[in-house]
Amino acid sequence: MAEFMTETKQCPAGAPLAGDPPAPADRPRPAREGGPPPDGHEATAVLDRARGEVDPELRAAVESLPGAMRRIARYHFGWEHADGTPTAGNAGKAIRPALVLTAASALGGSGARTAALRAAAAVELVHNFTLLHDDVMDRDTSRRHRPTAWTVFGVPDAILAGDALQALALRLLAVDPHPASRAAAARLADCVVELCEGQHADTAMEERAPDEVRLDDVLVMAEAKTGALIGCACALGGLYAGADDEAVAALDAFGRQAGLAFQLIDDVIGIWGDPERTGKPAGADLAVRKKSLPVVAALTSGTPAAAELAELYGRPYDEKDLERTAQAVERAGGRDWAQVQAADRMSRAMQELVRAVPDPEAAGGLLALAEFVTRRSS
Amino acid sequence: MAEFMTETKQCPAGAPLAGDPPAPADRPRPAREGGPPPDGHEATAVLDRARGEVDPELRAAVESLPGAMRRIARYHFGWEHADGTPTAGNAGKAIRPALVLTAASALGGSGARTAALRAAAAVELVHNFTLLHDDVMDRDTSRRHRPTAWTVFGVPDAILAGDALQALALRLLAVDPHPASRAAAARLADCVVELCEGQHADTAMEERAPDEVRLDDVLVMAEAKTGALIGCACALGGLYAGADDEAVAALDAFGRQAGLAFQLIDDVIGIWGDPERTGKPAGADLAVRKKSLPVVAALTSGTPAAAELAELYGRPYDEKDLERTAQAVERAGGRDWAQVQAADRMSRAMQELVRAVPDPEAAGGLLALAEFVTRRSS
C-alpha cells in the first residue's frame, strides 16, 4: 500500500538528489532494437494516453456511488474541492492503469487494450482504496499537495469511502463479460490481501527496536506493500491479452521487481532527496525514524557506523543530529546497498520482461514505464 | 452495517422486556398449511444446520489468509483467544449464511443449497468485515462478550483485517464456477456500497441536532445499514437456485423488511430492554443520546412530550433523567410507533416471501428465521 509515484513524494523526472548523485552506470539498460532507450518523453506519452483512456471508465464507476461516498471519492481523486466545486485536475499519474493497458497491448494488441479498460480502472480503484486507508492508519495529513480525505471528512468517512472503492473495483470485474475477468478478480482480491499483510508488516516493523529488524523482512514487506499491486497490474494486462500462465507470471514478476526498485530509490530520496524537488524537508524519513530499506541495510551491516546509527535512532529526533544520522547510514553502506539493489531489481525486471514479452518493440511501453518510475535517481 | 443478532445485543428468544411487554397481537403470523407456526426450536435447528455447513467453507477461507490477517480474523470470529489459543467457540449465529442457504433450498432444493455454500461464506465474511470497521468507527470496545479486535490488535490492524475479509469474500465468488457467481458478486459488491452509505448516514445523523433529524431519513438509513445485507443474503440464495429476477427481487425485499423489523425491535430493546437479558445497562441507547427509530419517531411527533425529549437530549447525560427520558419517548408515541412499524414490516416481509416462495412448505425455513430474529419482543 505504499505511495508509488504519488505527487507528494515525487521528484520531477531526472531530478538530481541533494549531495552526490548515485552513479547511473549501475542501471542496466537492455538493448532495444529499432530505437533508442526510452526517455521520459516516451513514458509521459504512454501515461497520458492511458490516463485519457481509463479516466471515463474510472469516473463512471465513481459516479455510480451514492451521495456521500461519491463526494469523498471525487475529492480524493482530486476532481473536486471539499466543497464540491471542480478542481483544475490534480489526479495521480495513474501508473497502474497504464501498466494494465500497456501489458495488454504488448501481448494482445489494441483489442486486448480496449478489453482491459475496466480492469485498469479496477486496479486504480484498489490503489486509491489503499491510499485512503493508509492515510488514516499513518495519520498522514497531505497527499498530492492536498489535505488527506480523513482530515477533511473525518476518519469514519475515509474508511467507508475506501471500503466502497474496494467494492467498486471488484464489482467492475464481476460485471465484465470478458473471459479473463474472473481470473482477474481473483488475482486482484489476492493482491488486496497481500497489500494488507504488507501494510501490517510495515506498521509492526516501525514499532520494533532498531536491532530487531531484519533486512529480509523489510524486503518482503516492501514487495508486498509496493511490488504486489504493480505486479498485479501487469499480470491483469496479460490475462486480458489471453497470455499463458508463464507469461502472466513473468509480467507479475516484472512489476514486482520494478516496484521494489522504485521503493529502494524512493527510500534513498527520503534521506538524501533535495527538499526543493521533493517538497518534503531534508531527511524527512530520518526525522520520523523510518526503518526504510537503506536504514535497515545500514543497521544490519555490522559496521561501527551501524552501532552509531542505532544509538542515534534510539534518541528522540533532534535536527542538529540529522546530518550525522544521514552520514551514518551512508558510512554503514546503506546508500550504496540501496542503489546496487535497485539496479539489481531493475535488471531482474528486465529479464522478466524479456520472458513475458520477447518482442522488444512490443515491450517498449512497459520498459518506458519501468524506467520512468525508477529513473528519479539517475 | 448494524449489529444484527450479534450476541452482545441479543436477548434470548422470547425474552420479555423490562416494563410492559409490547402486545404480541400486533405481529401477523401467516398461516402455514401442514404445520404449526414456526417456533424458536425450528429456527435453532435451521441455524445449527447452516452453521455446520458453512463453517468449513468459512474456516478454509480464513485459513488461506497470511499470518497476521489470519490471526486477527480467527480472533474476531471467536475461534481463538488473542494469544492464539483455541476458544470453546464463540462465533455469531450466522443468520446471514443461514438465509443464503435456506433461500437456495427453498427455491432450488438441496443441489442449490450445496452450490450456494461459497456465497453463504462470502456473505458472512462481508458481514464480519463491516463489524470490524464499524467497531473502529464507533469505538465500540465489546462484541460477543469479548474485547473488539481494534482494542486487542490496534486500529490499523482491525482496518486491515476488515479490508482483507472483504477481498476474501469477493474472491470466493470470483473462483466459484457456478453460473450465478458473477451476478452474486456484483450484488454483494453493490450491497457493500449501500452498507457504507448507510453507516455514513448513521454517523452523520448522530452528529445532527435532535430537531434536524427526519424520520424518513432514519428509516432509509436503517434499511441501508441493516436491511441491505439481510436482503442480499436472501437474494444470493435465490440466484444460486436459478430463480427469476422477480423472485430474487422479492427475496431481497423480504430480507430488507425483516431486517428493518429486527432493527425496530432492537431499538425498542435498546431503551426498554431488561439489563439482565441484554447484558447492557438499562436505557443504554438513551444514555449515549442515540437517535434510534423510536427516539426519532418521538422527536418528530409534534407532541408536548417531543419538546420535552428534545430538551432532555440537548443536555449531557444524567442518570437521574433516564426514567423521565424513556417515559417522554413513550408518551410521544415512539414506543407504539416502533412496535406498529415492526409489525407492519414483518407483514410486508411475509407478503414478499409469498411472492418469492409460493409453496408454504418450502418457505418454512425462511419464515422461521424471520420470526426468530424479530420475536425477541413478543
- For B185, how many CA atoms within 13 A lie in the half-sphere containing its CB? 32
pLDDT of residue B39: 60
Range with lowest mean pLDDT among A98-102, A196-200, A319-323: A319-323
Confidence band for A126, pLDDT divided at 50, 70 and 90: very high
**B194–A168 C-beta distance less than 8 A:** no
- For A143, how many CA atoms within 13 A lie in the half-sphere containing its CB? 28
Chain A residues near residue B159 by CB distance under 8 angstroms: 133, 136-137, 159
Which of B242, B362, B349, B341 has its CA nearest to residue B294?
B341
- Mean pLDDT on A52-72: 97
- What secondary structure letter does DSSP report for B37? P
3-state secondary structure chain A: CCCCCCCCCCCCCCCCCCCCCCCHHHCCCCCCCCCCCCCHHHHHHHHHHHHHHHHHHHHHHHHCCCHHHHHHHHHHCCCECCCCCECCCCCCCCHHHHHHHHHHHHHHHHHHHHHCHHHHHHHHHHHHHHHHHHHHHHCCCEECCEECHHHHHCHHHHHHHHHHHHHHHHHHHHCCCCCCHHHHHHHHHHHHHHHHHHHHHHHHHHHCCHHHCCHHHHHHHHHHHHHHHHHHHHHHHHHHCCCCHHHHHHHHHHHHHHHHHHHHHHHHHHHHCCHHHHCCCCCHHHHCCCCCHHHHHHHCCCCHHHHHHHHHHHCCCCHHHHHHHHHHHHHCCHHHHHHHHHHHHHHHHHHHHHHHCCCHHHHHHHHHHHHHHHHHHC
Structure-block grid coordinates of residue A75 = 475529492
- The alpha-carbon gap from B129 to the nearest alpha carbon of chain A, in Å, equals 9
Confidence band for A67, pLDDT divided at 50, 70 and 90: very high
pLDDT of A14 above 60: no
Give the tens place of pLDDT for each residue, A204-242: 988 888 888 899 999 999 999 999 999 999 999 999 999
Range with lowest mean pLDDT among A262-266, B18-22, B103-107, B314-318: B18-22
d(CA B348, CA B354): 10
d(CA A129, CA B188): 18
- For A258, how many CA atoms within 13 A lie in the half-sphere containing its CB? 32
pLDDT of A91 above 70: no
Contact A157, A149 (CB under 8 A): yes
pLDDT of A21 above 50: no
Q: Burial-class residue A33 by CB neighbours within 10 Å (0-12, 13-18, 19+).
A: exposed
Q: Decide: helix, strand or coil at residue B242.
A: coil
Specify which residues A143 forms β-bridges with.
A146
pLDDT of residue B147: 94
Give the tens place of pLDDT for each residue, A244-267: 999 999 999 999 999 999 999 999
pLDDT of residue A376: 58
Structure-block grid coordinates of residue B41 = 426450536
Which of B54, B198, B224, B46 has its CA nearest to residue B124?
B54
- The alpha-carbon gap from B30 to the nearest alpha carbon of chain A, in Å, equals 36
d(CA B70, CA B76): 10
Is the pLDDT higher at A31 or at A81? A81
pLDDT of residue A12: 34
Contacting residues for A18 by C-beta, under 8 A, at least 6 apart: A272, A273, A274, A275, A282
Task: Determine contact: B166 vs chain A, CB below 8 A.
Answer: yes
Distances (CA, A) of B244 to B108, B174, B177, B248, B352: 12, 22, 19, 6, 14
Backbone angles phi, psi at B93, to 5 degrees: -80, -15
Confidence band for A42, pLDDT divided at 50, 70 and 90: confident
d(CA B335, CA B148): 31
Confidence band for A90, pLDDT divided at 50, 70 and 90: low
Range with lowest mean pLDDT among A96-100, A367-371, B208-212, B303-307: B208-212
**A186–B182 C-beta distance less than 8 A:** no
d(CA A302, CA A317): 23
- The alpha-carbon gap from A197 to the nearest alpha carbon of chain B, in Å, equals 6
Task: Determine contact: B140 vs chain A, CB below 8 A.
Answer: no
- For A241, how many CA atoms within 13 A lie in the half-sphere containing its CB? 28
Q: Decide: helix, strand or coil at residue B43.
A: helix
- The alpha-carbon gap from A358 to the nearest alpha carbon of chain B, in Å, equals 30
Four-residue CA torsion sign, A108, A110, A112, A116: positive
d(CA A3, CA B217): 38
| Best residue in A123, A137, A163 for a mutation probing chain B (most B CBs within 10 Å) | A163
- Mean pLDDT on B72-86: 94
Contact A99, A366 (CB under 8 A): yes
pLDDT of B298 above 70: yes
Confidence band for A365, pLDDT divided at 50, 70 and 90: very high
Contact B232, B188 (CB under 8 A): yes
Chain A residues near residue B122 by CB distance under 8 angstroms: none
Stretch 246-285 of chain A: residues touching chain B, C-beta under 8 Å = none
Closest partner residue to B160 (CB to CB) among A65, A183, A196 is A196
